[in-house]
Amino acid sequence: MLKLKTPKTHRAKREIEKRAPKFVENGKKTLILHGTKTSGVLNTVLTQIYHLKRDNAVKYTKKNENIRPFESGGETSLEFFSLKTDCSLFVFGSHSKKRPNNLVLGRMFDHHIYDLVEVGVENFRPIESFEYDKKLTPRIGSKPFFAFVGEGFESVEELKHLKEVLLDLFRGEVVENLNLAGIDRVFVCTALSSSTVFLTHCALRLKRSGTAIPRMELVEVGPSMDLVVRRHRLPNDSLKKEAMKTTSGQPKKKIKNVSSDVLQGKMGKIYIPDQKVGGITLSSDVKGLKRERREAKKRKVGIENEAKKRKTAAD
Amino acid sequence: MSRGRNFPITVAPSCRREATASKLQTVEAAAKQGGTSPQIEAEKYQIDWGSLVASDPTHHSQSIPSSRFVFRVATIKISFLPNGVLDWSPDRAETPSFTTAGADEGTELVQAIPDSLFALPSSDDPDGPVVLLPQPTTKLPREKHLFDEYLVLSGTKCNEFVFWAAFSLARIEFPVIFPLAFSCDKLLDLPEPKPPTKWELFAKMKGIKKHKKEKHALDEQAEPGEDPFSKRKAEKKKRIEKQEKNRPGNLKQAAKVGALPRLSLFPKLPRDIELRWNLATNGSHAPKKASKKELEDVAGMAATATASGGKFDKKIARGEISQAHWEFLLLVERKGMSSQEKQQTAKILDQLMSKSSHDILDVNKARFVAITMFNVKAEKQTEEGKGTRHISYSKEAEAKNGNPLKNLQKRNTR
C-alpha cells in the first residue's frame, strides 16, 4: 500500500472510504503482536486481551524481530501493519531478561506512532482461574465501565498516561445512546504505587434494590494483572495539538464574495447596484443648462417686449 | 458469544446531549447540597458519563504489595456472593483474588455511575431502557487527522489566528496543516472536490435539472377498451387513401406550373385517373404523344438519374442501340433469318462498309495498302528487268496481274 493505488471496483472504493479520515471516527482497532521471544504468561496475556476485544482487534501470530517501538528505526514495521489493517492501537509483547513479560501499549496518529507506554505484567491471572456463574459473562462488544481508584492517576505522569491509554484500549466505540440493560462489565484499575497499577476485569450484576437504581455487584471474571510502568513516551506538543483538534462539527461557512489568489492574495468583490441614471436629478448649476437658461431668458424678454409694444400700441 | 451491541448508534442533536449533561450536573449538585439519596456519592468522584469513567482521586492506596489477603473493611456495603468474588471465610484467606484495598472502592465508584444514569429519562426500547449519554469529557487523541473543511472554523482563537495568518500573510491558498500530521499515504487524504464539468456549469446556469426517465410511461391518451396498434394501422390507411386522392391534383398543379415533365416518368396511374388526367391535359382521353424534344429531355433526365449523375455511364450516340438491348428486340420469326434480322445484319454491314464510317474499317486505306504491297512485290520481281516504277491500278493491270484484292474480297465476304 505504499504506492498510490486507485480503486478499480466499487467494493474497493467503499473500503477506502471507510478508512478515510472522518469527522466522527470509527472505533479504534487494536493490533496484537509479539516479538521474537515471548513467555507462556505473555502469550496468554495477549490472547486474553484479544478475547476481550474480539470485535475490533487483529492478532498476528508471527514473530516480528525488527519491531522495536522505542527505537527510532524499529517502528516502520508497526506503522506498515497499522496501515494495512487500519489499526490505531497496538499491543506488542516481548520477553527478555532485562524486561520480562513486557507489553508495549501504543497509539497511532495517521498511522505514525503517537505515544507509547511500556509495562511489565506481573501476577497475571487468566480468565480460566476465576470461578463464577457463567451466566454473568460479559458479551463481546458491550460498553464497559471504568473505575480508576487512586490519586496516582492524577499526580504521577506515567500513570496519567497509562490511564489514557487503557481508556483508549478498552473503551470501544463512542456511543450516544446506551442501553442500561446491556451494562455488563467494568474495568477496575487501582494505583497501587507510583508505578504499579492493578488492572482487573469484572462482570456487573445489577441487583434489585428498593429504588429504581439497581445495586451494582462486581464479579471478577476476566484477567487480572499488575502493570508495572517501565518507560513511556509522550507525544511531542505539535503532534498532540494536531491530534486533539476538534471543531464544533459544522463545516465551514461559505464566505461570499471573497476569493484568494496566490499572486494577489485575498480579494473581495463589491457589487454595486445599478445606477438609475434616468432618475438622477441634475443640479441647477450644471454648465449644460446655460444655453437653455439663456434662451429661456431671451424668450421671456421677447414676450415682455411684445407685451410692452402692445401696450404702447394700445395707448 | 453473541455481540452485546444493543444500543443504536444515532447522532442525536447536541442539544439533547447537553440537556443530559446538565441534568447530571443538577443531580450532582443536589447530592452536594446534602443529597436526598444516600446512594449518590458522586461529589467525591470525577465521573465522565460520556465514556462511563469514574475516578476517585481521593483514595490513598494503602496496600502492601506482599499482602494480598482478604481483610474486612468496615465501609463495605455490598455483600459478595460466595461462589464468586470476595470470600470472607478465613479458610480461603490465602488464595488471592479481588483482594486489594481498592476493591470496595471500585464497587463504590462503579455504583456511582449508574446511580445518576438510571435517573436520566430513558426511552423504552424492546431491549431495555435506552439513555442518551452526554459528550465525553476526557479528551482522547484522534485516530486520523481532520481534513481542511473542518479545520477552518475552529473554536480556539489560537487556531483562528494561525489560519488567518497563513491565509493572508503567507498568501497560501489553503489552510496550513502541520507537516508532522500529514499522512504519507495519499489514499488517506480526502480528495479535492472535482471541478464541475462544462455541462454541469451550463446546466446550472440554465437551471436544467436531471430528470430520471421512467421505464414505464403511462399513455394518457389511450382508452382502456381499444387496441392502439390496430388504431394506428387504420389511421395509416386513412392517411394513405387521402394522399392518393390528393396526388393527381398535386401533379396537375405541378404540371400547370411546369415543375413536372409532361411525359410519365412516374409509375402508371390507375386507369380512370389516367383518363381523367389525359382529358385534363390533352383535351382527349388519349395520352399525348411526346415530341422529339420532350423525348430527348426525358431521355437526358433518365440518363443522368444515376447515383453519379450519369458520369460514368457509357455514352450512347444517337440512333445507336446499346448492346444490352439486343436481347430485347422482338424476334418475329424464329426460324431462319427473318426480315428484321436481315435488316439488322445488313445495317451493321453497311456501317462497316460505308465510306463515311471511319472508326470501323477504312476500306480504301486497306485497298490502298494491299495494292501497294502487291505492286512492291511485283516490282521486286521485275527489278532486274526494267519494270515500271509507277504504281497504278487500272483495268489493264488487273487483267494482267489479276485482281490483287480478290483474296481480300473473299475474306471480307465470308
Tens of pLDDT, residues B210-247 = 888 888 877 777 788 888 899 999 999 999 999 999 98
- Asked if B95 and B111 count as a contact pair (C-beta separation under 8 A), the reply is no
Q: Is some CB atom of chain A closer than 8 A to the CB atom of B321?
A: no
- Contacts with B1 (C-beta within 8 Å, 6 or more apart), sequence order: A54, A137, A139, A140
Chain B residues with CB inside 8 Å of A200's CB? 98
Residues of A in contact with B155 (CB under 8 A): 247-248
- Single-letter amino acid, residue A250: Q
Q: How confident is the model at residue B82 (pLDDT cuts 50, 70, 90)?
A: very low
pLDDT over 50 at B34, yes or no: no
CA B394 – CA B224 distance, rounded (Å): 106
Place of cell 387504420: B234
Cα of B110 to nearest chain A Cα, Å: 6
Q: Best-predicted range by mean pLDDT among A15-24, A90-99, B77-86?
A: A90-99
- Residues counted in chain B: 414
Strands A145-149 and A177-179: unpaired
ipTM of predicted assembly, 2 dp: 0.72
Phi, psi of B265 (to 5 degrees): -90, -15
Q: Which of A27-41, A58-72, A166-180 has the lowest mean pLDDT?
A: A166-180
User: By the CB < 8 Å criterion, does B38 face chain A?
Assistant: no
Q: Which residue of A has its CA nearest to B151?
A: A247
d(CA A194, CA A246): 32
Is the pLDDT reported for residue A102 higher than 90? yes
pLDDT in tens, B289-300: 777 887 778 777
Q: Which of A4, A142, A238 faces B178 most closely, judged by CB atoms?
A: A238
Report whether A94 contacts A66 (CB < 8 A): no
Mutating which of A177, A244, A248 best tests the B interface, going by the most B Cβ atoms within 10 A? A177
Would an 8 Å CB–CB cutoff place B180 in contact with chain A?
yes
From A24-38, B176-190, B351-365, B389-403, the region with the lowest mean pLDDT: B176-190
CA angle, residues B321, B327, B331, in degrees to nearest 5 = 100
Of A14-18, B25-29, B32-36, B268-272, which range is least confident? B32-36
Q: Which residues contact B77 (CB under 8 A, 6 or more apart)?
A: B104, B108
A150 to chain B, closest Cα gap in Å: 5
* B44–chain A Cβ distance below 8 A for any pair: no
Provide the CB-side half-sphere exposure for B140 (13 A, CA). Answer: 28
Do A184 and A142 touch, CB atoms closer than 8 A? yes
Cβ atoms within 10 A of the Cβ of A43, count? 13
List alpha helices for A200-288, DSSP H. 237-243
Instruction: Indicate if the pLDDT at residue A94 is higher than 50.
Output: yes
CA–CA gap between residue B31 and residue B45 (Å, rounded)? 12
Indicate the pLDDT class of residue B148, thresholds 50, 70 and 90. low
Question: pLDDT band for position A37 (50/70/90)?
Answer: very high
Nearest to A243 by CA among A121, A49, A113: A113
Residue-wise pLDDT tens digits, B363-378: 677 777 777 777 777 7
Question: Could you tell me the pTM of the whole model?
Answer: 0.51
In whole angstroms, what is the distance from residue A112 CA to residue A243 CA?
12
Q: Please answer yes or no on whether B131 and A83 come within 8 Å at the CB atom.
A: no
How many alpha carbons fall within 13 Å on the CB side of residue B25? 8
Reported confidence tier of residue A60, pLDDT bands at 50, 70, 90: very high
CB contact under 8 A, B118 and A214: yes
Report the share of chain A in percent with pLDDT over 70. 94
Average pLDDT, chain B: 65
Strands B53-56 and A145-149: parallel
